[in-house]
Amino acid sequence: MGLRPAAQVRICENPVVVAAAADELGAGCQPLVCVGGQPSVAGWRLLELLAAGGAEFSYHDDFDWGGVRIARAVYHRVNWRPWWYDRRAYEVAVSAAHPLTPLAGLVGEPTATPWDPELATDMQRCNVRIEEELTLDALLQDLRS
C-alpha cells in the first residue's frame, strides 16, 4: 500500500498543534505532519515520500533560534513555503501577545532565515520568543479551510 500524493501538506514542530487539530477538526483537517523537534529518520522518510509523491509543503515552528535551525534543516531537505512563519507573522504574533503576559527573550546564536531574510533581522530587533502554541488559532483556521 503506497502513500497517496497530497497537493499541500502542512508541517509543524509541536505535537500540540496536531492534538488541537485532531480535537477541533478531526477528519476534516488538511494533511498535517508534526516533526516533533528535529525530525527523526522516520520523519525524514515520510517527508521524502510525500515529496516524491508530488506534495508541496508549508512549514511552521517556534519563533526562536532553535526553531529556526530546525526549519532550516527541513527547508534544505524538502523545500517549503512559510506557513505563518515569516517576518509579517512574527510581527503579528509579537503584537498580539497580551501585554501582561511576559514573553521570554531569544537565547542562543542568531540564525539566518533563507525563506525570509527579514525574519531573522526582526527577531534580533524584537528579541521575543514566540512559541508555536501562541499562533495556534491562525494555524487551525488554515487547516480548517
| CA angle (142, 96, 133) in 5-degree steps | 55
111 within a domain of the structure (yes/no) = yes
47 within a domain of the structure (yes/no) = yes
Q: Domain limits at 107?
A: 8-144
Instruction: Count structural domains, the chain.
Output: 1
110 within a domain of the structure (yes/no) = yes
Give the CATH number of the domain where residue 138 resides: 3.40.1360.10
In order of 2, 72, 111, 141, the CA distances from 105 in angstroms are: 44, 21, 15, 27
3 within a domain of the structure (yes/no) = no
pTM of the model: 0.90
133 within a domain of the structure (yes/no) = yes
> 15 is written with which cell numbers?
505535537
Is residue 67 classed exposed, middle or buried when 0-12, 13-18 and 19+ CB atoms within 10 A define those classes?
buried
96 within a domain of the structure (yes/no) = yes
1 within a domain of the structure (yes/no) = no
Gap between the Cα atoms of 123 and 81, Å rounded: 19
Residue 97: band (very low, low, confident or very high) from pLDDT cuts 50, 70, 90? confident
| pLDDT tens-digit map of 49-61 | 999 999 999 999 9
> With contact defined as beta carbons under 8 Å apart, do 116 and 110 qualify?
no
